[in-house]
Amino acid sequence: MARTTLRDVAAAAGVSVSTASRALAGNPAISPGTRERVRACAEQLNYRPNAQARALRSSRTNIIGLTVPSLVNPFFAGMAHAIQQEADRHGLSTIISSTSEDPARLSTSLEVLTSQQVDGLIAVPYNGTEQAFTRVPMPTVLVDRELPTAGLPTVATDPAPGITAAVDHLLDNGHRRIGYLSGPVTTSTGVRRLAAFEEACDSRGVRERSIHHGGFDHSIGFAGTLELLDRGVEAIIAGDTMMSIGALEACHAQRIALGRDLALIGFDDNATMRLQAAPVSVIDQDVAEMGRRALHLLLDLMSGHSPPEPITIPTTLIIRPSSDFTRRR
């Protein structure tokens, strides 16, 4: 069977070959309707562009780089999947590097990706890594965590709406002694979420609150949950994915019935939260949307557009049985 060519796709979509090429490259000069029609025809005809030829014509590799702190963490695995899936739709391959929550490994990853001559980069940074990004020559987008002094376009979330809604939800159900299982405060996300929790409690007069400063690993969340339980909390809000998993493990180990003995609200929605006997309420960041927005922002930069203002996506509270019960006094 003859290989499908770009000319075949253009004919099927009713456009010129040059328009088909630009549509498949995601060129914003082509209308969204035309881009979708051309992509649909390409998929139907099983068209696969010749990456080497495209690279020679455009002086591009048609490859982007992505660095994430962990692929064990479901949040970052979901982010990587969303970015890679969206990149595929735009004819780009993705090289993914996991930095294992190590700033030194991030610097190494940036050097390796630069040597691979990727067309652009999406990265989850660490505090204090601004200097490493000054050596990156290609368009770069930061996602999830922020580096305000780096001057790079960023896609992040606002934790305040979701955390405030979580505190209100617990108070409305009679839970007064609230514990907060913080993520690492060495990251911008950890700092902002902790501040949002304290602000929500202060503005509502919540005095009986306990905070455990956690870290990157679920085992720290496990130990922190046991400590909060020893302090007599009636409800726990976990400040990130790994702290949520650690809290679940501790509750199972102690035979604590969620939705009856303890109210638990996790952070980030995933299958682990949904598949519990009492499905777990979560503060959701919409990781898929974060990934898509980051990729589209990178495409804009790669096309020569000026960097926009930071993109901030509000968090939302998803209420499930783990917290949706009334505390009887």
Please name each of the domains of the chain with its CATH number: 6-49 (1.10.260.40), 57-156+287-313 (3.40.50.2300), 158-286 (3.40.50.2300)
In angstroms, the CA 264 to CA 272 distance is 14
SS3 content of the chain, % helix, strand, coil (to 5): 45, 15, 35
Which are the contacts of 302, defined by CB distance < 8 A and separation ≥ 6?
119, 120, 139
CA atoms within 13 A on the CB side of 122: 32
The closest alpha carbon to 176, from 1, 18, 6, 329, belongs to 329
Would you say 293 and 265 are in contact if contact means Cβ atoms under 8 Å apart?
no
Q: What is the pLDDT of residue 59?
A: 67
Strands (E), 159-216: 178-182, 209-213
β-bridge partners, 233: none
Structure tokens at 146: 């922020």
Give residue for tokens 């108070």: 171
Give burial (CB, 10 Å; 0-12/13-18/19+) of 324: middle
Which are the contacts of 329, defined by CB distance < 8 A and separation ≥ 6?
174
Q: What is the pLDDT of residue 57?
A: 47
Q: What is the pLDDT of residue 1?
A: 52
The closest alpha carbon to 157, from 266, 313, 309, belongs to 313
What is the full per-residue pLDDT of the chain (329 aa) written as tens digits? 567 888 899 999 999 877 887 788 776 667 889 989 999 999 898 887 765 455 544 568 899 999 999 999 999 999 999 999 999 999 999 999 999 999 999 999 999 998 888 999 999 999 999 989 988 888 999 999 999 888 899 999 999 999 999 999 999 999 999 999 999 998 999 999 999 999 999 999 999 999 999 988 999 999 999 999 999 999 999 999 999 999 999 999 999 999 999 999 999 999 999 999 999 999 999 999 999 999 999 999 998 887 778 999 999 999 999 999 998 86
In angstroms, the CA 156 to CA 71 distance is 19
Evaluate if pTM is beyond 0.85.
no
Which are the contacts of 262, defined by CB distance < 8 A and separation ≥ 6?
229, 233, 234, 235, 236, 251, 256
Give burial (CB, 10 Å; 0-12/13-18/19+) of 167: buried
In angstroms, the CA 253 to CA 248 distance is 9
